[in-house]
A and B are shown apart, each in its own frame.
Chain A
């Protein structure tokens, strides 16, 4: 069966520091991968998606970036965090467009 992992589970970082959040999927090949951010009271916002290694599409312009160095690995990064980057970050995978997305446990990021 497929599983999706995210780490770290919780992260507290100072403003201006770098960020790296990792997501890995097991038990499937060539998944579509997604990064969402969930801010308090604002639902989920799609940040990035990827249909293959090295292929990244950005939905929202911001100081975050994403990379997919391996088929089942998706990384969310920032060179300098802002206070507004605080939130709950969720990674998801699917077998294709419109297909069900399965979510990881999330990473809670607090920028101080």
Chain B
């Protein structure tokens, strides 16, 4: 079965420091990969996505992610975090075959920003 693993439940980072959130997927073929962010009590906002091509993708709010097939990973990075980045982050993938399946999500990483 397809799965997405986000090994870090909570991460605390100082404002201005760099950030890396880990994501590993379990799927044989090339997946479609996504990172979403969720502020408390809100819906999910798409940060970036990878379908094919360049393995380093740029997203909104200064985020980027790198697809590494050999490691089955799609880690999210930001060089300098802001207090407003505190939120829940979800990695997800979609099955690239036929049909209309939804996304498979990781359980999320809660990002805390220290002043």
Q: Which A residues lie at the B interface, using CB under 8 A?
A: 32, 34, 36, 41-44, 46, 49-51, 57, 59, 90, 92, 96-106, 108
> Is there contact, CB below 8 Å, between B107 and A41?
yes
A42, closest chain B residue (CB):
B107
Q: Which B residues lie at the A interface, using CB under 8 A?
A: 32, 34, 36, 41-46, 49, 51, 90, 92, 94-108
**Which residues of the partner chain A approach B44 to less than 8 Å between Cβ atoms?**
44, 90, 92, 103
A50, closest chain B residue (CB):
B100
**Which residues of the partner chain A approach B102 to less than 8 Å between Cβ atoms?**
34, 36, 46, 49, 59, 92, 101
Smallest Cβ distance from A22 to chain B, in angstroms? 15
- Between A and B, 21 residue pairs with Cβ closer than 8 Å are A32-B100, A41-B107, A42-B107, A44-B90, A44-B103, A49-B102, A51-B100, A97-B94, A97-B95, A97-B98, A98-B96, A100-B34, A100-B46, A100-B49, A101-B103, A102-B46, A103-B43, A103-B44, A105-B42, A106-B41, A108-B41
A36 CA to B41 CA in the complex, in Å?
A: 15
Chain A CB count within 10 A is highest, among B36, B44, B51, B97, for B44
Q: Which 8 A-B pairs have the closest CB atoms?
A: A46-B102, A43-B107, A103-B43, A103-B44, A44-B105, A98-B94, A51-B100, A105-B43
A103 CA to B43 CA in the complex, in Å?
A: 6
A62 CA to B103 CA in the complex, in Å?
A: 19
Smallest Cβ distance from A107 to chain B, in angstroms? 10
**Which residues of the partner chain B approach A51 to less than 8 Å between Cβ atoms?**
100
A36 CA to B107 CA in the complex, in Å?
A: 13
